[in-house]
Amino acid sequence: MATKTISITATRTYYKEATIYIEVDENLNDDELRAFLTEDEDIDTRLENGLGESDLSGGETEFEYSDPTNQDGGHL
């Protein structure tokens, strides 16, 4: 019986999540609010610290195969 080699890959992505609460001027809206939230170094520092203290959470596992002989592959 002739054989061929295929590959099977399992990928599991882990993630961390952090939530912080901040008070902002009630008049900040739309672009001004987004600019403030993305440019404020204290927010970035607090989020990084929160991520450092959080646990890893596992997501779903994705399975894929590749059959180079038949130029086929996809999700399992």
CB of 56 within 8 A of CB of 14? yes
Task: Output the tens digit of pLDDT for each of the chain's 76 residues.
Answer: 899 999 999 999 999 999 999 999 999 999 999 999 999 999 999 999 999 999 999 888 999 999 999 999 999 9
What are the φ/ψ torsions at residue 64 (nearest 5 degrees)? -135, 155
Give the predicted TM-score (pTM) of the model. Answer: 0.65
57 Cβ partners below 8 Å, 6+ apart?
Answer: 14, 15, 16, 17
Q: What is the CA radius of gyration of the chain?
A: 22
